[in-house]
Amino acid sequence: MDYVKLSKEVSYALRHAPWEYDLELDEDGWVNVEQLLDSLKTKKDWLNVCAKDLQIIVDISDKKRHEISEGKIRALYGHSTQNRIIKDIKKPPDMLYHGTARNLVSVISKNGLSPKGRQYVHLSVDINIASQVGKRHDDLPAILKIDAKKAWNNGIVFYQGNDKVWLADFIPSEYIDQSVK
């Protein structure tokens, strides 16, 4: 079983195109494991996929993209679906980071960080993760430092995606320091 490929397929199904898999996510992004498995098994690559395989992709993922509980599975972050996945508001760490293409820094410093095609702005707990994310868009990404403590104290809302990823609706430019990298 190619668990990396399976993880990508599950991410696509749960984060971006549940309708392509005949999945109906609840307001928290959950879907029954059996419903997901039935849908995956309609594709030749996943004829033998089982619940144990889904648990393995959850357990081995360094980015903790999914979680399984009580016979249901969901993506923890990264959604681009029209129906907003509701997250619990949580106090963030004092500092967070965001990796981005260098050519976007001037726009971000002027307009702040917005989610673009996703439901939330994605922030990382450390520079290395932010750099990995930024490299998807630029070989030498800019790493922005977010004063999350100050933003939180001034009413900016944060949500925890997992232990490495934090989410926000919007980060105003006054909380962004672009001098990190």
Least confident of 2-16, 69-83, 167-181: 69-83
- pLDDT tens, residue by residue, 129-163: 899 888 878 899 999 999 999 999 999 999 988 78
What order of strands is seen across the sheet that includes strand 176-177? 158-160, 165-168, 121-124, 95-100, 142-147, 176-177
State the angle between helix axes of 3-11 and 51-60 in degrees (0 to 180), rounded to the nearest 10: 90
Q: How confident is the model at residue 50 (pLDDT cuts 50, 70, 90)?
A: very high
d(CA 77, CA 102): 24
The string of pLDDT tens digits covering residues 62-104 is 778 899 999 999 998 776 666 666 778 999 999 999 999 999 9
Domains of the chain with CATH codes = 3-75 (1.10.10.970), 95-177 (3.20.170.30)
Q: Which helix (H) or strand (E) holds 133?
A: helix 127-134
Which tokens hold the place of 146? 């977010």
Return d(Cα 171, Cα 96) in angstroms, integer.
11
Residue 180: per-residue pLDDT: 57
| b (16+ CB within 10 A) / e for 74-90 | bbbbbbebeeebebeee
104 is written with which tokens? 């976007």
pLDDT of residue 158: 97
Over the stretch 99-132, which tens digit does the pLDDT of each residue have? 999 999 999 999 999 987 777 898 999 999 899 8
Residue 181 has pLDDT above 60, yes or no: no
The pLDDT value recorded for residue 81 is 64
Closest C-alpha among 68, 64, 74 to residue 30: 74
For 63-179, list the strands marked E by DSSP: 66-69, 72-75, 95-100, 121-124, 142-147, 158-160, 165-168, 176-177
Separation of alpha carbons 46 and 68, rounded Å? 19
For 68, the 3-state DSSP assignment is strand
Q: What is the pLDDT of residue 137?
A: 81
